[in-house]
Amino acid sequence: MTAILSIICIAAILWRGIVATGVAYNRIKTRGVSPTLNIIFWDSILVIVLSVSLLVKIWAPCM
């Protein structure tokens, strides 16, 4: 049960990273690059990478 809850939480974090990356990318395309948008964009990419690595770490023992 704990593994299922962990996967759900990490998937939610992954979804947040995907949405934030899309929003930041659209704003960068329409308004141009600003330091704040650049930080938000790369922070979102980092969230995606860390979420995927945690999901793999949880799923690896199950296989």
Q: Is the pLDDT of residue 54 over 90?
A: no
Q: What is the pTM of this model?
A: 0.78
Q: Residue 5's pLDDT is what?
A: 84
Instruction: Give tens-digit pLDDT for 17-38.
Output: 999 999 999 998 898 888 888 8
The CA distances from residue 6 to 2, 3, 55, 57, in Å, are 6, 5, 9, 11
